[in-house]
Structure 1
Amino acid sequence: MKRILLRWAAPLIGGVVALLLIFLLYGSLDFWKFLEVLRSANPVWIVVLAVTILLEQFLNGWKWRQILHDVKSVGTLRLTGALLAGYGANVLVPLGISPLVRAWIIARLEQLKMATVLTTTIISRFVDGVVFALFAGVLAMSGRVPQVEGNLELGLSVAGALNIAVFGGLLWAMFRFRALFATDGPAVCRLFDWLAKRMRGDGRELRRALCNGVVWPRDAMRRAAVFLGAVAAKLTAATHFVWAGLAVGVVLTPWDYIFLMVFAGFIMVLGRFVRIPGSFIFGAGFALQMLDVPPETALLMILFNYIMSIILVVGFGLIVLWQNGIDIHRARLASQAVDAGI
């Protein structure tokens, strides 16, 4: 009973909260007006939205290529495919295994250690966190935040500062203690080896493989390209609501689109921690409400983004998984992998 409660209580509570938030956001929705706006939507802008969704993932793959380059030079398209496969795996097995699947695919195709590749994906995520926090800081300092009850600018500033402190601190710790973690003397290393042994892994080899992935490009141009790729991907993500809005006749200011990306992004991350499904929908819904977008139009803009992302990112990801011979059972096994030899 305890196991059942631990596994299902949080998602159940999250689902109830999600339904409550949907009712609060769209309880007064005019369904017939919603259908009318849907029928008049311009499909050309939806196609542009689809292209930019894939472009964002391509830019993320290019950024990952710069980080991985000193380990091994891997093509951007191959890395982009691995990124998409990670999203596809999360649909098959919703346990947050996407980094493991990406690392497994690249390690298998490029004859690398999975743990080494996994570390580079973690560095890429941390860089994204720092860049996202910078966007939040710039937005708060610009004064272009919707004026609502409460100090939203202060909230964004605090959230951005926390993001930089957490992700920047984790990046610093990875590079500062990389050499120490590879040695056999420290107590934390002995504890790691003991835990790995209990899970039938070689702790020493796993630690060394992980440390081999703690790399930063030696070439100055590639170092700049890491942050350039992260910024370009975030700006591309901000344009998703531009195209979705144009499809239904909504035009906002450039700062409004940055606000949408930042606010919805923070709510989505928070929703993952508290296990509320569909947190992106709520975050974007509240943001569009603050920007005085009619609920029927706002819901369509959100659904265009959400559905196109699922169809394209997850759809292409499942194709990559199929090409690499990964099924649900193998994805579950990947989530428990600790052996450095895989």
Structure 2
Amino acid sequence: MIELDETTPVATRRPRRRWLNWLGTAIGLGLIALLAWRLDWRQFAEVLQSARPEFVLATFLAITLEQVIRGWKWRQILTPVCDCRTSHLFGATMAGYLANLLVPLGLSPFVRSWLVARKQKISVSCALATVAIDRLVDGLVFAGIVVVVVPAAVIPDPNGNIGLGLLLGAGGSAVAIVVALVLLVHHKRRSASGIGILLVLVDRLPKRVSVRARSLALAFADGIVWPRERWRGAAIVMASIVIKLIAASHLFWAGLAFGVVLEPLVYLALLAILGFIVILAHMARVPAGFVVGAVFSLGLFGVGDATALAMVTVVMAANMLAVALFGGWGLWAHGVGLGDLGRRKVAADGSP
């Protein structure tokens, strides 16, 4: 539990946050309205009907393969903690996405950690720490790809603002991730002796929550791990690179469904642009950020709005189908129903 600063009343913070949410929603709806006004809906329907099913299927398979590799990568990170099957981790990952699809509150990391914790008899906090390591590695790899791709790709940007913004964003992200990793390692080392900045802060909480919070912090430290085998460490990084390359191929396969073929580096440039657009849209609470951002980004490379929206529709439909199908299977494999995904159930089983 985090106590609020006494100098800022709760009644003041809530209206401010609500105001920001409404502003983000208004911006998102405005962008959607602009896209709808620009779009030739009859042309969009004709383009969508012309989709080649084999490439739509390829999009679905690429999305599935990406998550299978993600499950395998998570298995390598978890090796010092427990021995898991890739299929179980794949199912837990997809189940987390399914929970986020049904209740868009950012529950995916907690749900996947909870499922693995139940299966392997470890704490949710420990499993959650391995998810954090997984995401930080992905973030570093993504930043590296941006730094390599942006100078090499030809982005239609006369003023250079997009390229410069991407490079600055990648550099800032890399610095923030390195700082986060250093803090995690520090917490791991200091927690072994029962001390550390986080534990000191936790001990200052009210007695009724400090004991529980300390237990969670120590359990989280148990999950800050990295495999001793060098080949596993290299495999984790390589898997992250492959995952990003497959993610970039989503629009490639979806484009082939409508006869759109771009330069190979363009798909990586699109990955970089959309990656930051999705992050900014999430932070600003702007709905449909991926849809509007993808249509805008594809438009930079000469793809018409109707075709771009059709490509995005294929990617989103394939993604939702994969999440629904394999997420449901993942819940079944872990012996969990949709009704068990509530916060209370996860919290009840989340003891360290």
TM-score using structure 1 length: 0.91
Correspondence 1:165-204 to 2 at 5 A? 165-186=175-196, 188-195=198-205, 198-199=208-209, 202-204=212-214
Correspondence 1:177-326 to 2 at 5 A? 177-186=187-196, 188-195=198-205, 198-199=208-209, 202-321=212-331, 324-326=335-337
Residue number in structure 1 paired with 2:99: 89
Moved more, 326-335 or 156-165: 326-335
Instruction: Report how far residue 262 of structure 1 moved.
Output: 1.1
Distance between the aligned counterparts of 2:202 and 2:340, measured in 1? 27
Confirm or deny: 8 A CA contact 1:89 1:321 kept in the other structure: no
Correspondence 1:58-97 to 2 at 5 A? 58-97=68-107
Matched, 1:333 2:336: no
Letter in 1 for 2:44: F
Confirm or deny: 8 A CA contact 1:115 1:209 kept in the other structure: yes
Structure 2 SS opposite 1:218: coil
Letter in 2 for 1:52: A
Confirm or deny: 8 A CA contact 1:265 1:283 kept in the other structure: no
Structure 1 SS opposite 2:38: coil
Moved more, 92-101 or 258-267: 92-101
Matched, 1:44 2:17: no
Distance between the aligned counterparts of 2:157 and 2:279, measured in 1? 23
Residue number in structure 2 paired with 1:101: 111
Confirm or deny: 8 A CA contact 2:187 2:221 kept in the other structure: no
Structure 2 SS opposite 1:239: helix
Q: 1:322 to 1:207 in 2, by over 3 A?
A: same
The one of 3, 23, 29 equivalent to 2:33 is 23
Confirm or deny: 8 A CA contact 1:199 1:338 kept in the other structure: no
Confirm or deny: 8 A CA contact 1:89 1:331 kept in the other structure: no
Distance between the aligned counterparts of 1:214 and 1:52, measured in 2? 30
C-alpha RMSD of matched pairs (Å): 2.4
Confirm or deny: 8 A CA contact 2:204 2:210 kept in the other structure: no
Instruction: Report how far residue 27 of structure 1 moved.
Output: 2.0
Distance between the aligned counterparts of 2:213 and 2:349, measured in 1? 9
Q: 1:203 to 1:23 in 2, by over 3 A?
A: closer
Confirm or deny: 8 A CA contact 2:141 2:241 kept in the other structure: yes
Letter in 1 for 2:225: V
Confirm or deny: 8 A CA contact 2:124 2:351 kept in the other structure: yes
Instruction: Report how far residue 181 of structure 1 moved.
Output: 3.2
Moved more, 238-247 or 27-36: 27-36
Instruction: Report how far residue 123 of structure 1 moved.
Output: 0.3
Distance between the aligned counterparts of 2:345 and 2:17, measured in 1? 20
Q: 1:214 to 1:186 in 2, by over 3 A?
A: closer
Moved more, 247-256 or 162-171: 162-171
| Identity value in percent | 37
Moved more, 305-314 or 107-116: 305-314
Distance between the aligned counterparts of 2:106 and 2:179, measured in 1? 22
Distance between the aligned counterparts of 1:166 and 1:4, measured in 2? 28
Instruction: Report how far residue 321 of structure 1 moved.
Output: 2.9
Matched, 1:112 2:122: yes
Q: 1:187 to 1:289 in 2, by over 3 A?
A: closer
Moved more, 99-108 or 189-198: 189-198
* 5+ long unaligned stretches in structure 1: none
Confirm or deny: 8 A CA contact 2:185 2:224 kept in the other structure: yes
Distance between the aligned counterparts of 2:102 and 2:115, measured in 1? 16
Distance between the aligned counterparts of 2:205 and 2:83, measured in 1? 33
TM-score using structure 2 length: 0.89
Letter in 1 for 2:237: F
Residue number in structure 1 paired with 2:3: none
Q: 1:70 to 1:254 in 2, by over 3 A?
A: same
Q: 1:165 to 1:232 in 2, by over 3 A?
A: same
